[in-house]
Amino acid sequence: MKTPSDEQSSTLHPKKWLSIVGIGEDGLQGLSTIARTLVEQAEVIIGGDRHLSMLSLDDQRQKLAWKFPISISVAEIIQRRGQSICVLASGDPMCYGVGVTLTQQIPISEITIIPAPSAFSLACARLGWSMTEVEVLSLCGRPPSLVMSYLYPGAKLLILSEGKNTPTIVKEILINHGYGASRIAVLERMGHIHERIVDGTAANWEESEFASLNTIAIDCISDQEFLPLGRLPGLADDAYHHDGQLTKRETRAITLSTLSPIPGELLWDVGAGCGSIAIEWMRSHPRCRAIAIEQDSARIQYIIDNMTSLGVPNLQVIAATAPQSLKDLPIPDAIFIGGGVTTPGLVDICWEALRLGGRLVVNAVTLEGEQTLFNWYEKIGGSFTRINIQRGEAIGKFLGWKGMAGVTQYLVIKR
């Protein structure tokens, strides 16, 4: 007999009606007993064509292949809530897999997830690499230039390919950006009887025919004459295409330190110039997001060039005039104003949009800009820092100090 507490527990913890089973190239025979039971007991099976073809030809259960966009299939799964549904997924469903998408919309209390080894785990096992020492990323549905932000001498990268052409695209990126000496291994159909590993160096790579299902492993070696880009804020000024409208290296490093990027946070870079602040915000962590707002068409092209060459292709660029363009943007965690602080209403809109606990950082180089910031300081508080930088430059045949334009930096946290 069910007690009231049993009924309450059933309400709080609904039946696990959805199972997500990771499956490898060895098919159903490679599944654990629990995973195989979940597949056998399901009323509906969902997966890609490759997964569904692994089932017996006389299996009469309803089978649904993924539709695109995948949100259509996710909505159909939710509509069938309560039916016994099993989703077949490649490898580990929670590693760049469909499990991530489904758990964002269906409570984990209703789901059973049984992972198989991920492509990353299998690749490490094949190559003898430590999983804790590699960088992992996926190029499935993502721009290949994303690789650029992961490159540094000695890095070991594992990349999920989008398809058979991805290894050649990645090879060209390595060669064009000073990593032609890097060793590459393309691991095809790991776990299948037709598994294959093709390896070589980027500069001498000849193989061009690959299976659609492949993973790329790169041991990054930089060319001797190439100066690698660091991961900390303050890239060299000549790393950017710009027309002089650039927050200089030293000031940029201080500004990013003040903005204090945290993984997953969103930055507005208002008056972005060539995009250096937004770009280095995003380079600080793969989950950092940024929106660059710039009205000058030539500078917008600089931003596009820089975000591609520096490995942050997902930077959102808005070609518009602030503050009008700011009203419908997602709520930011931090805002940087690098130009136009005296524009009427600009700081007002930024301050109103900023979330509680968010940071507003403004750099000013004119007395009028300083006056605007001081007026805000009197209203809401904050702090000022004066940044004066001198660089050693030639004076005739000697070396002397040349001062850069002083910058007044204003920081205020929204309480």
**Backbone dihedral angles phi then psi of residue 336, each to the nearest 5 degrees:** -120, 125
The whole-angstrom separation of Cα 183 and Cα 194 is: 23
Is the pLDDT assigned to residue 14 strictly greater than 80? no
- Residue 180: helix, strand or coil by DSSP? coil
Express as a percent the part of the chain with pLDDT over 70.
97
Share of the chain above pLDDT 90, in %: 90
CB atoms closer than 10 angstroms to residue 317: 19
Q: What region, left, alpha or beta, does residue 189 occupy, with left being phi > 0 and alpha being psi -120 to 50 degrees?
A: left
Contact 410, 382 (CB under 8 A): yes
Other C-beta atoms closer than 10 Å to the C-beta of 109 total 10
For the domain made up of 237-413, give the CATH fold: Rossmann fold (3.40.50)
Question: Model confidence over 210-235: pLDDT tens digits?
Answer: 999 999 999 999 987 778 888 889 99
pLDDT at 330: 97
Check whether 7 has a pLDDT greater than 70. Answer: no
Q: Under a CB-based contact definition with an 8 Å cutoff, are residues 3 and 10 in contact?
A: no
pTM of the model as a whole: 0.90
Residue 8 has pLDDT above 50, yes or no: no
Q: What pLDDT score does 4 carry?
A: 45
Judged against a pLDDT cut of 50, whether residue 6 lies above it is answered with: no
Q: Is 178 left (phi over 0), alpha (psi -120 to 50) or beta?
A: left
In this prediction, residue 318 has a pLDDT band, given cuts at 50, 70 and 90, of: very high
Architecture, CATH, for domain 120-219:
2-Layer Sandwich (3.30)
Task: Reply yes or no on whether the pLDDT at 88 is more than 50.
Answer: yes
Domain ranges across the chain? 15-115, 120-219, 237-413
Predicted pLDDT at 253? 98
CATH code for 15-115? 3.40.1010.10
Look over the chain and give the mean of its residue pLDDT values, rounded to a whole number: 94
pLDDT at 380: 96
